Every structure is written in structure tokens, then in C-alpha cells.
């Protein structure tokens, strides 16, 4: 069984196909973390624990005169703080007359089949006939009367352990929760590197690798969303770890709000990893008998490098996370109207653009911002989800019918969570916005944020969105969110509960998405927040794809998509061919290169076809045909980063390989062309080493072993910003 308890050694053992995760109950009832790494047969790991009388490391009262037992240096599974452990805790709370210590001891456990469900939040689910077990360990503190239920769901075959915590108030007085981490992992050494993915709007999820040093290194968001600035994903890896060798551990937090992931190297060179809701601006009043559920954290380990770790996350997110049926379906190639028209359009212009899009091979037309209310720029209209008849005379239903008559499907842009002050909704309900009493509102993109901690606001959005989606034949929705949260104050909550607003907002968002997105399984929903500002696994639970970045510059996208690929599969990364000079960077890149880079994900167009030449339109049609032919390899195959755009300034290369290793697509983009430079080669990956492959357009056949060890030459004739795609087929 993937989860079991050894009563003789007081040890909990979790096992996946390749890894073991082991915990032990100490002689005083504490739950200690013993091991997470390569699968081992051992169940008694006591020898790993060392006990010394260390100065200024206090001892729990139950230890008596035993000065060698201190929570200050023992590896723990869940730390309550204020109990002799001075490292960053898993939990902080205030109870009774102001007490704050939590001294939870193991009070029981239960092993259940299946993944279970997380109340009010997304979580991984088991597939039919999949062997999944969940271990729950209860830690009880008899003084505060608070109990923490630690949950570990083991996806044995997929090498994933999903962790979460449920806090229960068993006492007679309210408890104020001020910090709760979904997962804590203590490593007994710290000779590691950290890999994280910082960024900003239009340059999200860049790759950073830094050594673990003394103190706390933290990443996170206090913006109410997972943010452009940091992604809720962190890798801990050995110094020698690369794409194909070395140990690495990943932790991905399934949460769309403010988060914190921190790595702390302590005085004894141990490493503690914490991941959970950001405590900044957070508190939660837990009344007697109430529970608080933390979001789920997804853990994975690889003993053979970063590529293997990525494949673990790609597979679990593709197969066990997203609930949309489109996770297994081909996605239509779309053209989005935003960069073609912005707010300046009428129905005739839209139909003309759509007609040309159909001629260049697009299978779907998406009408972006500007179709509703009094929406002639980004300062008005949000919240009024009725069509602007001056722009779209035949309405959404009529426009949809005309688009379908062209042989294309129809999609629409919405931004449900926002409101403009110049809107009918705001004039009716100014109290529906997040704001601070007595202060003028802080604007972002000249819009305010609706208070999704309120059920009446959520119900309004559910009714508005469902009515809109049922008013016409709509096959795609781009769900946008174009600002960060600032004032986290709600008109309906008491002063002592205002610290709950940011989390209640996220719970409200999940509730709305449950009632809108999951009620329309035949519609493709694409997530967006100014591009990649809410690119997190929780969003993938509802939406099969997310707009990767507002930056469509192909050369910048090499870095953005490279960083994104460490945790997220290509099947969720929406990427489009746009116009040149690029609207954000001003750079000009060949159309063929833009197509190659856009095929590193869910392919589409973000341009005005009326500005293309006949030759360019034909090239776009050929790109569509090529993508449709190889989309299964791209979206469902194994992904390999052949080079790093941060380490190799000359070219960036990547590869997709079908699950059966019979087909492969290799993409190369030259980023810096030297005069009279050396011949460079790129080594392929993921092929059948004993098989032979033909490369389309090349003479001869080549063994997988040769292609992976000697590689292929980067074509000499490629100029700067030019690229090539090589198609391999096993014979």
C-alpha cells in the first residue's frame, strides 16, 4: 500500500513508484520528518536523528532533565512555534486569554482509499482504476483545544504527494488564526540551490537559480493573486543537478491568491521549506466547532534531474487536475481581435477581420474587450455585461451566427471580477467594491475590484455570466483580470474579520467558477490576468489553458515559455503569432519564427489579418496546417528543454516527443548570429536509443542513440531571429 504505519517503529511510510516519504512519532508524541527521496526499503530511520545538549535550544517540559531533546533542531513535519522551535512555523494563532503556542502531538491517524475532496478549493483527483491513498494524521493540543489534521494524498504511479492541512477548533472560545502553511518540509542539510520564477507584467516566470544561504529566502505575493512577480512554485536541488542528472524536489501551491513559499537555512545548516497562504494581511476568526482548510501543495521528487521533475508535474496537471473535457481534446486555432482592433471597431470591421481570419486557416474568432456597455476605452463599462448595439448591431447572438456561417467557432472576452466607476453596476452598488471606509479608491487600469467575499456579488456574477453564455452560441471565453487587489476591506464583515477578505475573495472566485465554468463543459475557458498574472495550478482546475503573457514578442517568449515549462505542460500555455514590429517591444521577427515559438503551446493568432500580404496569409495557413498535424505531439508529448536561453546566447532549442517515441518535433531559434562563427550542435532527447529516425527533408536515417549523443548541427544558413522546425519519425 502507498501509505502505511509501522507500529513497532512508530513510523508513517508513504511510497510512490520512485520515492519514499517517511515520518516518525517521537518519544514525546511529536511528528518528526525523517526522509523524502529515492524509494528505500527501510522503515526504521532512528539513526538519522542526533540528540545533543545544544546551548540556547530549550527543551519541552515533558522531556524533564533530558537536554538533548529540543524542537529547535529536530526535523519536524508541522511546527507550532512558541514551543522551543525558533524557525519559521507552520502555524501561528491566538487563543484563550492571548496564548499563542500550539503543541500538537499525534492523536490518531486514518488511511483512506482515493484522493478525497478539499472543501471550497481545487485539488488533485484520482482517475478511474488509479491507485491513490490518503493518510490523515491528527495533531491535538489539549490546552488550546486546536487540532491540525495533516493530509497526504499519494499518487503512487505518478510520483506525487499532495499535502494540505485542516485546522479544527475543538474548544469553547474563538481562536484567531494568523498563519497556516499547507506544507512544511525539514531537510537535515542545506547544501542545495533554489530555483524560482520571478518576473513582472509582460515578462513573467523568468528562471533564477541561487544557492541556499543563511537566513530566509522567500518568494510570494501580497497582491491578492498569485501575481506576475512570483509563481507559486519552487525547486530545491542539489548543486550538481541539471536537466538530466541530480536530485531535486518541487513544491507547487494550488492557490490563486496571496501566497508565501520560504526556504530557511538555520543555525545548524538545516533547511526548512514552508508553503501556504501569505500571512501578511491575513487572519481568520475560528469560532468553536469551526474548521479552516488550507490549499493543497503538490510535492514531487526526481533523482534524475529537472526534466524528470517537469514531466511529473506536466503529467499530474494534465491528467489529475484540470476538469475541463478539453484537456484531452484538440483545441481550435483562434484569432483574437485585441491587437487587431483594440476598442476601435464596429460590427462591419469585426466581420471583415473574421472573414480574413477564416481565409488564413483560423478555426475560431474571439471578440476581445470593447463589445459591452459604454466601453470605448478601458475607463468605462466594466460590470455592464450587455452588448453595445452601437458597435455590434446584431448583438452577440447575431454576430455569433454570422461568424459560424463563415465556418468558424465564436469566442468572447469577459472580466467578471472588475467594475468601472462609470458603469450602471457601480452606480447601483458602490458598496459592492473592495475599498477602505472614508478613503478614495485606489484604481488599477482605472477599474475597481468587486467584493467576491460577498455572496450577493458572487450570485450576481453567476447569473450575469450564465445568461451571457446561454444567449448565443459561444465556444470559447477569455476570462481576464486586469489589476491587483489593494484595499482588502469588505462592507459586510466586522472589523475583527477584515483580515479574512483576501482569502474569502479567492474562495468566492472559486465558487463563481464552479457555477459558471464547470456548468459549461462545452466551452473552452482561457484564464488571463494581464497575461500571466494568475498562472497557477488552481486556475488549471477550471480552465484548460491560460494566456501565457501579454508579451507576444517571440524572442521574449523564449524565456517566458522556458520558465513556465518547469511546472506547467504545453497544453495549458496559450501562445499566439502577433504582428511586427511587436506592440510591446517594437522588435521585428520573421513570421516563420513567430509561428515556431507560438507552437510551443496552444497555438493561435493575435494580429490584424487585413495588414498581412497574401504571401503572409498563406504562410499563416501553412502554420495552421502544420500545427494541426503535430498538435497531439506538442500538447500531449514529453517536453525537453534542449538549451537554456539564459546560458546559451546563440540559440534556443526545445523538443516534443510523442509518448510512444515514434514522432518528434525539434525547434531551434537563433538569437545571436556571429560573423564566421563556429558550427554549433544541439543534442536531442527522449528518443528510442535503439530505434532509427528519418528527419523530414534530410537524406538517410539516424539512430536515436546517435541523435542524442552526437546531436544535429544548427543550420549554418539561419540568420539572427530565424528558426527551423525538424520533424522526426521512427522507421
Q: Give catalytic residues, as residue numbers.
A: 480, 550
The helix (H) or strand (E) run that includes residue 634 is helix 614-636
Task: Report DSSP letters for 385-448, one per residue.
Answer: -SB-TTT-TTHHHHHHHHHHHTT-EEEEEE-TTEE-SBSHHHHH-GGGB---TTSPPPPBTTBE
The helix (H) or strand (E) run that includes residue 193 is strand 192-196
CB 265 within 8 Å of CB 183: no
Bridging pattern class, strands 524-527 and 476-479: parallel
Cβ-based neighbour number of residue 704 at 10 Å: 22
Spatial CA neighbour of 421 closest among 378, 386, 369, 371: 378
| CA torsion angle 375 381 385 388 (round to 10) | -30
The helix (H) or strand (E) run that includes residue 320 is helix 306-320
The helix (H) or strand (E) run that includes residue 355 is helix 347-359
Strands of 16-171, DSSP E: 19-25, 31-38, 91-94, 105-113, 132-141, 146-155, 160-169
Residue whose cell numbers read 526522509:
35
Spatial CA neighbour of 278 closest among 257, 247, 309: 257
* Cα–Cα dist 542/544, whole Å: 7
CB 560 within 8 Å of CB 539: no
**Beta bridge mates, 293:** 166
**Beta bridge mates, 52:** none
Q: In which region does residue 333 sit, left (phi positive, over 0), alpha (psi from -120 to 50) or beta (all else)? A: beta
Spatial CA neighbour of 416 closest among 344, 323, 478, 488: 478
> How far lies 200's CA from each of 483, 530, 534, 545, 555, in Å?
13, 10, 12, 20, 16
Residue whose cell numbers read 518528434:
664
Angle ∠(338,342,347) on CA atoms, nearest 5: 90
Its sign, for the CA torsion 659, 660, 661, 663, is negative
> How big is the chain by its Cα radius of gyration, in Å?
27
Cβ-based neighbour number of residue 691 at 10 Å: 16
If you ran DSSP here, which 8-state letter would residue 90 be given? S
Amino acid at each position: 500500500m502507498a501509505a502505511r504505519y509501522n507500529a513497532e517503529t512508530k513510523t508513517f511510510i508513504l511510497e510512490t513508484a520512485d520515492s519514499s516519504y517517511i515520518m516518525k512519532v517521537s518519544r514525546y508524541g511529536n511528528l518528526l520528518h525523517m526522509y523524502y527521496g529515492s524509494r528505500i526499503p527501510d522503515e526504521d530511520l532512528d539513526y538519522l536523528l542526533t540528540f545533543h545538549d545544544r546551548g540556547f535550544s530549550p527543551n519541552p517540559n515533558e522531556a524533564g532533565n533530558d537536554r538533548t531533546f529540543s524542537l529547535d533542531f529536530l526535523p519536524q513535519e508541522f511546527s507550532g512555534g512558541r514551543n522551543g522551535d525558533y524557525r519559521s512555523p507552520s502555524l501561528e494563532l491566538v487563543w484563550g486569554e492571548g496564548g499563542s503556542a500550539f503543541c500538537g502531538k499525534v492523536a490518531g491517524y486514518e488511511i483512506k482509499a482515493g484522493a478525497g475532496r478539499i472543501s471550497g478549493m481545487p485539488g488533485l483527483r484520482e482517475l478511474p482504476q488509479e491507485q491513490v491513498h490518503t493518510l490523515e494524521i491528527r495533531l491535538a493540543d489539549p490546552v488550546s483545544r486546536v487540532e491540525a489534521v495533516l493530509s497526504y494524498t499519494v499518487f503512487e504511479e505518478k510520483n506525487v504527494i499532495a499535502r494540505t492541512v485542516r485546522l479544527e477548533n475543538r474548544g469553547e472560545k474563538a481562536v484567531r488564526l494568523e498563519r497556516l502553511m499547507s506544507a512544511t518540509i525539514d531537510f537535515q542539510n542545506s547544501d542545495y540551490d533554489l530555483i524560482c520564477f520571478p518576473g513582472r507584467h509582460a515578462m513573467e516566470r523568468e528562471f533564477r537559480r541561487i544557492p541556499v544561504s543563511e537566513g530566509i529566502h522567500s518568494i510570494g505575493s501580497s497582491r491578492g493573486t498569485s501575481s506576475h512577480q512570483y509563481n507559486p512554485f519552487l525547486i530545491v536541488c542539489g548543486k550538481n543537478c541539471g536537466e538530466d542528472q541530480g536530485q531535486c524536489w518541487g513544491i507547487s501551491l494550488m492557490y490563486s491568491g496571496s501566497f508565501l513559499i520560504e526556504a530557511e537555512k538555520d543555525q545548524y545548516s538545516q533547511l526548512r521549506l514552508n508553503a501556504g497562504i501569505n500571512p501578511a494581511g491575513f487572519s481568520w476568526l475560528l469560532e468553536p466547532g469551526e474548521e479552516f482548510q488550507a490549499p493543497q501543495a503538490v510535492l514531487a521528487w526526481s533523482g534524475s534531474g529537472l526534466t524528470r521533475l517537469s514531466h511529473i508535474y506536466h503529467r499530474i496537471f494534465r491528467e489529475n487536475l484540470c476538469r475541463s473535457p478539453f484537456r484531452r481534446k484538440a483545441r481550435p486555432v483562434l484569432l483574437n481581435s485585441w491587437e487587431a482592433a483594440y476598442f476601435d471597431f464596429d460590427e462591419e470591421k469585426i466581420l471583415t477581420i473574421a472573414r480574413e481570419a477564416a481565409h488564413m486557416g483560423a478555426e475560431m474568432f474571439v471578440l476581445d474587450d470593447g463589445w459591452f456597455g459604454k466601453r470605448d476605452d478601458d475607463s468605462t463599462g466594466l460590470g455592464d455585461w450587455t452588448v453595445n448595439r452601437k458597435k455590434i448591431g446584431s448583438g452577440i447572438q447575431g454576430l455569433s451566427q454570422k461568424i459560424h456561417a463563415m465556418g468558424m467557432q465564436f469566442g468572447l472576452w469577459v472580466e467578471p471580477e472588475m467594475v468601472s466607476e462609470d458603469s450602471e453596476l457601480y452606480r447601483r452598488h458602490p458598496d459592492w467594491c473592495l475599498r477602505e471606509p472614508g478613503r478614495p479608491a485606489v484604481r488599477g487600469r482605472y477599474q475597481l475590484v468587486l467584493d467576491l467575499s460577498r455572496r450577493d456579488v458572487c450570485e450576481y456574477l453567476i447569473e450575469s455570466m450564465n445568461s451571457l453564455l446561454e444567449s448565443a452560441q459561444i465556444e470559447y471565453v477569455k476570462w481576464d483580470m486586469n489589476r491587483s487587489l489593494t484595499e482588502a476591506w469588505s462592507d459586510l464583515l466586522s472589523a475583527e474579520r477584515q483580515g479574512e477578505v483576501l482569502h474569502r475573495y479567492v474562495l468566492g472566485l472559486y465558487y463563481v467558477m464552479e457555477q459558471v465554468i464547470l456548468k459549461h463543459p462545452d466551452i473552452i475557458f482561457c484564464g488571463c490576468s494581464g497575461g500571466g498574472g494568475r498562472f497557477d495550478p488552481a486556475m488549471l482546475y477550471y480552465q484548460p489553458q491560460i494566456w501565457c503573457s501579454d508579451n507576444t514578442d517571440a524572442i521574449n517568449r523564449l524565456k517566458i515559455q522556458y520558465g513556465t515549462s518547469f511546472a506547467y505542460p504545453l497544453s495549458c500555455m496559450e501562445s499566439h503569432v502577433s504582428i511586427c514590429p511587436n506592440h510591446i517591444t517594437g522588435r521585428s521577427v520573421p513570421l516563420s519564427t513567430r509561428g515556431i515559438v507560438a507552437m510551443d503551446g496552444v497555438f493561435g493568432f493575435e494580429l490584424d489579418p487585413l495588414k498581412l500580404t497574401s504571401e503572409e496569409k498563406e504562410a499563416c495557413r501553412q502554420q495552421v496546417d502544420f500545427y494541426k498535424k503535430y498538435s497531439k505531439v506538442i500538447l500531449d508529448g514529453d517536453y525537453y528543454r534542449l538549451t537554456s536561453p539564459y546560458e546559451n546566447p546563440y540559440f534556443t532549442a526545445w523538443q516534443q516527443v510523442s509518448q510512444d517515441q515514434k514522432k518528434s518535433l525539434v525547434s531551434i531559434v537563433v538569437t545571436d548570429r556571429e560573423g564566421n562563427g563556429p558550427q554549433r550542435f544541439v543534442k536531442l532527447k527522449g528518443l528510442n536509443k535503439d530505434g532509427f529516425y528519418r528527419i523530414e527533408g534530410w537524406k538517410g536515417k539516424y539512430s536515436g542513440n546517435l541523435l542524442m549523443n552526437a546531436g544535429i548541427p544548427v543550420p549554418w544558413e539561419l540568420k539572427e531571429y530565424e528558426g527551423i522546425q525538424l520533424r522526426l519519425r521512427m522507421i
